[in-house]
A and B are shown apart, each in its own frame.
Chain A
């Protein structure tokens, strides 16, 4: 294969990997802290993208709708809105169901995701059709042979990695992160130690959802298009990535995200029908799960016999 094309695939895979990793990190955080699978997470990504879109319309009306500054502003809007949404989900949907069988939490978040999807489809102006997402990142590209290295691609990869590294630093090196890790390891003891369990859960959900919003904005900026359905596939990909890497492990989520992107890229290269790349990637992940049920980096074992 031509090196330029290979490079193109690689870059594309890298952006996807970063986006998937951001979503996967959310899943792993939620699972680590509360043992819950938050199935509305993918739709939070979508809601984040649409919030950014709405913010952009607002900026346009103020005449400030262009350039990287606008991108940062709408990203901020999306991130803060989704952080609030994440906390609300934790407060009203997830925490109250702590005593119920885990399947109930799975169901309630899945249904919430459905509600989000439908709300956007029904209530966002022209929401049922794909909507163009503004081009806010610089369009310059460097050409190296047959490879066109777009600046926005590089910026997105850098920003995404930055966000992930930021979360990682927060979890590893701050007091808040310590509290999160404490709760993830042993909620009962953490509570006895004086950690405000409810607050930690809310903050964790806010954090994961903020990251999801960032992923949504990145997705929008990269493809210049968003649609109400985008969260469904992204959510399931993020979940598979987190599972493949090992639920509960931050590194695992990142690894899983890039792994999935890589598999998708391979699938895109090998199969002429574009839809098969997803089937191929999922098939590989499922095979991986059959071989290593607890993920590449072992899933946090919550079960005490």
Chain B
């Protein structure tokens, strides 16, 4: 299996504190890897470092054969890595369609001519994208697809999460980083979201996913493999059962005996 993402010795510091320390990580094409660990162990920091929000103090990130260490968030997105956020970050005053189109930024035509004068061309582009957006949403929820032009503010939490995930998927990325998608949702809703995600992934076989989660049930069901972080360092990795039984992991979550 090809390594789509190769992270070596990644270190992120805030002042004197190392939020991430010498982290090695590999993601293979088509995998779903769960990233788990107690609060503050560096999981979101890891996402932020890959996506260019934080500059790593040391180490490197490679996307296939390209070095993407320390690139700006916009370049990371162009390269094909998208994400969701722990704290839902949607434009709540805008419609579902608008939010999805923000995710589709690199496929949109931003020329002045098209947008201001050649309105017929723009209309065609808008209509094509409406079809595309509706099709993607429908894979998650037919009801949501019908609310394409509703403001996001009017949607329940589960639908907002769906919109956020679709926003990350609409540009057909290579890698999807999911940051605690189950936060704020019931077990039922989480299950539904994960089912949709797996179904969506079936249509994008080259999509690789890194999933940060606290809900162990989700990790167990969905991930091919897990990596455990604690205090910014990798504790262990392997299949879920393996990792769950590992005494170091228990110590990390429950404290040393």
List chain A positions with a Cβ less than 8 A from chain B: 304-305
Residues in B41-85 with C-beta less than 8 Å from chain A:
44, 48, 53, 85
Give A79 to B114 CA distance when docked, in angstroms.
60
- Distance from B46 Cβ to chain A, minimum over Cβ atoms (Å): 12
The verdict on B87 contacting chain A, using a C-beta distance below 8 Å, is yes
- Distance from B88 Cβ to chain A, minimum over Cβ atoms (Å): 12
What B residues does A305 contact at CB under 8 A?
44, 48, 53, 85-86
- In this complex, what residue of B is CB-closest to A304? B87
Give A135 to B228 CA distance when docked, in angstroms.
71
Q: Could you give 6 example pairs across A and B, Cβ below 8 Å? A: A304-B87, A305-B44, A305-B48, A305-B53, A305-B85, A305-B86
Give A304 to B54 CA distance when docked, in angstroms.
12
Residues in B188-205 with C-beta less than 8 Å from chain A:
none
What B residues does A304 contact at CB under 8 A?
87
- In this complex, what residue of B is CB-closest to A298? B15
Give A304 to B44 CA distance when docked, in angstroms.
10
What A residues does B48 contact at CB under 8 A?
305
Give A305 to B12 CA distance when docked, in angstroms.
15
Give A304 to B53 CA distance when docked, in angstroms.
11
Count of B residues near A, CB < 8 Å?
A: 6
Give A305 to B46 CA distance when docked, in angstroms.
12
- Distance from A186 Cβ to chain B, minimum over Cβ atoms (Å): 13
What A residues does B85 contact at CB under 8 A?
305
Residues in B158-213 with C-beta less than 8 Å from chain A:
none
- In this complex, what residue of A is CB-closest to B85? A305
Give A305 to B86 CA distance when docked, in angstroms.
8
- Distance from A39 Cβ to chain B, minimum over Cβ atoms (Å): 24
- Distance from B55 Cβ to chain A, minimum over Cβ atoms (Å): 14
- In this complex, what residue of A is CB-closest to B45? A305
- Distance from B25 Cβ to chain A, minimum over Cβ atoms (Å): 19
- In this complex, what residue of B is CB-closest to A301? B14
Give A187 to B197 CA distance when docked, in angstroms.
35
What A residues does B86 contact at CB under 8 A?
305
- In this complex, what residue of A is CB-closest to B54? A305
- Distance from B240 Cβ to chain A, minimum over Cβ atoms (Å): 27
- In this complex, what residue of A is CB-closest to B14? A301
- Distance from B169 Cβ to chain A, minimum over Cβ atoms (Å): 20
- Distance from A303 Cβ to chain B, minimum over Cβ atoms (Å): 10
- In this complex, what residue of B is CB-closest to A101? B93
Give A304 to B88 CA distance when docked, in angstroms.
12
What A residues does B87 contact at CB under 8 A?
304
The list of the 3 closest CB pairs from A to B, nearest first, reads A305-B48, A305-B53, A304-B87
What A residues does B44 contact at CB under 8 A?
305
Give A147 to B8 CA distance when docked, in angstroms.
66
- Distance from A115 Cβ to chain B, minimum over Cβ atoms (Å): 28
Give A284 to B226 CA distance when docked, in angstroms.
52
- Distance from B77 Cβ to chain A, minimum over Cβ atoms (Å): 15
- Distance from A284 Cβ to chain B, minimum over Cβ atoms (Å): 27
What A residues does B53 contact at CB under 8 A?
305
Give A161 to B44 CA distance when docked, in angstroms.
44
- Distance from B37 Cβ to chain A, minimum over Cβ atoms (Å): 17
Give A304 to B48 CA distance when docked, in angstroms.
11
Give A261 to B48 CA distance when docked, in angstroms.
40
- Distance from B6 Cβ to chain A, minimum over Cβ atoms (Å): 23
- Distance from B52 Cβ to chain A, minimum over Cβ atoms (Å): 11
Give A188 to B238 CA distance when docked, in angstroms.
36
- Distance from B54 Cβ to chain A, minimum over Cβ atoms (Å): 9
Residues in B84-125 with C-beta less than 8 Å from chain A:
85-87
- Per-residue interface assignment for chain B, residues 239 to 253, with 1 indicating a CB less than 8 Å from any chain A CB and 0 otherwise: 000000000000000
Give A304 to B45 CA distance when docked, in angstroms.
11
Give A305 to B53 CA distance when docked, in angstroms.
9
Give A304 to B87 CA distance when docked, in angstroms.
9
- Distance from B41 Cβ to chain A, minimum over Cβ atoms (Å): 16
Give A71 to B87 CA distance when docked, in angstroms.
53
Give A305 to B179 CA distance when docked, in angstroms.
11
Give A305 to B87 CA distance when docked, in angstroms.
7
Give A58 to B85 CA distance when docked, in angstroms.
60
Give A159 to B200 CA distance when docked, in angstroms.
69
Give A304 to B39 CA distance when docked, in angstroms.
14
Give A125 to B85 CA distance when docked, in angstroms.
57
Give A304 to B85 CA distance when docked, in angstroms.
10
Give A305 to B212 CA distance when docked, in angstroms.
14
- Per-residue interface assignment for chain B, residues 213 to 255, with 1 indicating a CB less than 8 Å from any chain A CB and 0 otherwise: 0000000000000000000000000000000000000000000
Give A82 to B44 CA distance when docked, in angstroms.
44
- Distance from B168 Cβ to chain A, minimum over Cβ atoms (Å): 15
- Distance from A196 Cβ to chain B, minimum over Cβ atoms (Å): 26
Give A223 to B224 CA distance when docked, in angstroms.
74
Give A125 to B197 CA distance when docked, in angstroms.
71
- In this complex, what residue of A is CB-closest to B93? A101
